[in-house]
Chains A and B, each alone.
Chain A
Amino acid sequence: MTTMTDLRSYIGEVLLTEDQIQSRVEELGAQISADYEGRALTLVSVLKGSLPFMADLMRAISRPLRIDLMEVSSYGGATTESSGLVRILKDLSSTIEGEDVLIVEDIIDTGLTLNYLVRYLRGKKPASLRICTLLDKPARRLVEIDVDYTGFTIPDQFVVGYGLDYGELYRNLRFVGVLRPEVYSTAE
């Protein structure tokens, strides 16, 4: 059985410490609080990776807000094979029409998922739609996305922790680390 000690041993480098993350989340929260003063803000988190970021960010925002959760299928997943198209695995619980919506993402790399989500959410006629991501990996960008709030711009490395997974593990690490290449090389 894999232990947390095992998981930590598979991390080659700690890219962002817990303190660095928390400090930046506080800054983002303060900035978002100022930008949305007097407005009805709804945070939309994209499961599952953004869950820790969402939990910390919402508490760093000093404005009344609503939260909602979405989950979409990822390419290559078991649920995607039949249709060949993105499926909404969990849709919004409430309407966002007329609301100021902020998408909360864990990481943006190709931008494909986010591009899909932005189009989908725009169809629900929010008053505004912005994007906040903890991590941005621009080297991997395939489609251009305007990101309004970025926690950290990171190099082109496979990272896990603080919500980010490999094979559904590592999400509960308090830091963001670079996974040793031998972990995924030998897994295939």
Chain B
Amino acid sequence: MAFVPIYILILGFTIIIDYLAGIYIEKAKDKRRRKLLLAASLVANIGILAFFKYFNFLNLNIDRFMGKFNYHDPIPYLTILLPIGLSFHTFQAMSYTIEVYRGNQKAERHLGIYSLYVMFYPQLVAGPIERPQNILPQMHTEHRFDYELMKSGLKMMLWGFFKKIVVADRLSIFVNSVFNNPELHNGTTIVIASIFFSVQIYCDFSGYTDIAIGCARTMGFDLMKNFERPYFATNIQDFWRRWHISLSTWFRDYLYIPLGGNRVSKQRQYLNLFIVFLISGIWHGANYTYIIWGILHGLYSVVYMIIKPYLRKEQQSKATATAIRIGNMALTCLFVTFAWIFFRANSVSDALTLIYNLRSFGAKPFFGDGISNFAHSILAIFLLFAVEYKMEYYPEKFNFFTSPNIALRWGSVAFTIILILLLGVFNGGQFIYFQF
């Protein structure tokens, strides 16, 4: 990561473009003119995103293709850094102009407030990708210091730090050693590393989200929910209702529905769904690994849509229903984890090597630099699971952080801080989603 002050101009440029586009779209009476203005705003936003994120990737592919005809470096590569959080604030800016165009949101006249909407620092770099209807009115409201909101926000941030420092950064030690040397590891190790990565990426990203939402709450702002315990999902559709909700709903509202949504033929619905996931993969980064990850999720979702009508719906005994639910969760986790292999691998060939090496499942696993880190990883997953299980099935019980009993309330918060000091990894690991 590097601080390049000139890059602030990129934000400034998109802010000015979208701010003006919003006002002119609202003013325009002619539908064609409104469409043109929206298109101009979208082209500017997507253009910037494409330039910074995909130019060198496209160039590399052109270069490889032309290389087959002995024609090298047709277009020079650019030495550009990817501005942090570009994909997030671009999407947030786009949702504003689209909502103004649709008439769901009034154009913001105050440049300062519009700039704040795009650059609101708690969620600037990795979301949640907010909608103008939720956040802009809050920016017009006076926010006085509220002790309760401050407390609640800080507690949320604390849980976010726990997820990031105790779970995600701990698991990353093992995950990195395996995924950075795919040739050296056997199937058992790869299975463990893949499961660890599933938990790591969840805690890394949802940890950031909790910190962002908590931070905004301390200032009196209410940001949208971004995660809903995704690994308790019982099918892939359910998973996407719980994972990165702000992005999933963005794609639903601004891509899936405009493509026809559920109002078109089944075949077209499948295609639309597949396109959404493919673009979601591309959105994540300029690498074929993300594209394959998107394709896999597209396929999972289409297959699920096809088989959904045939799934049994009749009444079952409680025990059978529980067993089926657990089985469905495990199956969903299995498919999601498999797709994560591509997401985390450094290249497609690395991902394929890892998958090929899965054949040696059952061999003696590798524990990294000793059993201690591995044991701490398992402990971290166990603590996370215990809390998430409680939140999923007993949301009203054992709420120690908000207990009316002061000893329990303070004790649990202080104990969580001590746990972070004791079990956390303090090596300054970056958030995975900052790169997007």
A and B: bona fide binding partners:
no
A contacts, CB < 8 Å to B: none
B contacts, CB < 8 Å to A: none
